[in-house]
Structure 1
Amino acid sequence: MQRYILIIDDEPRNIFALVAVLKSKGYRCLTANGAAEGLKILQTREDIGIILMDMMMPDMDGYEAMSWIRNEKSLADVPIIAVTAQAMVGDREKCLNAGANAYISKPIDVDALEDLLKRFLRIYDN
């Protein structure tokens, strides 16, 4: 079974660009327009292989969402890549300490993202 990439971001243009690039490379994507919607998807789907989590969202940010995911027994092992425009000293460590498996800054280097996906995403062919 091929797993989905769940993209959680509050900016539709970011979602559109990521989905376009990832689908062109053969990945299957689901999207959520914010953390609350993303958490609902995670509660109802068992085929999510990895999460691309925007860190700066209104209402619930990526840090809070990652904490919730890591505290859910059934979701605790799903890899999360923190995606953020914040690229200051210490931001990477803050994301990793909050529960991310990896960190990538915006604008996204597609080759670096694909390397991370290959490292963390397990794709099962039928």
Structure 2
Amino acid sequence: MSIPAKKILIVDDDTRNIFALSLTLRSKGYTCLSSTDAARAINMMQQDDTIGIVLMDMMMPEMDGYEAINRIRDDKKLRDLPVIAVTAQAMPGDREKCLEAGANAYISKPVNVDVLIDLLNTYL
């Protein structure tokens, strides 16, 4: 099985989370980009057609993941881009809230790498 050429964009305000996810995914052969700011991440998506999926932290300052996903879904160019909500919120209803906001899938922190790889294989 070969790794897709599309890039993974990791959006998280905590650089430690970006570092850990990037390191793990790169070790598996994926190419990763990152942003600590959702508005900048959306700009990156609009400029780079090689981004194949977004891992979106849901709880960020200024623009949270819910608003960011809403903007992605409202953008004709980006609306079909797969977004996986990545969040520390794991209470009943949080998964549904993320999916209702427009996320394709949901994964809680700490991220189970095997589950994440399965999701990437599904959407890339």
Match of 1:43 among 46, 57, 75: 46
Aligned residues: 121
C-alpha separation between the residues in 1 aligned to 2:92 and 2:46? Answer: 34
- Name the structure 2 match of 1:28: 31
Correspondent of 1:69 among 59, 69, 72: 72
Distance in 2 (alpha carbons) for counterparts of 1:34 and 1:106 = 19
One-letter code aligned to 1:95: C
Alignment partners' CA distance in 1, 2:25 and 2:5: 14
Q: TM-score, normalised by structure 1?
A: 0.94
> What one-letter code is carried by the residue in structure 1 that aligns with 2:35?
A
Q: Secondary structure at the match of 1:6?
A: strand
CA distance, structure 2, for counterparts of residue 35 and residue 103 of structure 1: 17
The answer for the alignment partner of 2:57 in structure 1 is 54
| Structure 1: gaps spanning 5 or more residues | 122-126
1:84 CA displacement: 0.2
Identity %, equivalent residues = 62
State which of 8, 15, 19 in structure 2 corresponds to 1:12: 15
Question: Match of 1:124?
Answer: none
* 1:102 pairs with 2:109: no
For residues 117 and 26 of structure 1, the distance between their equivalents in structure 2, rounded to whole angstroms, comes to 12
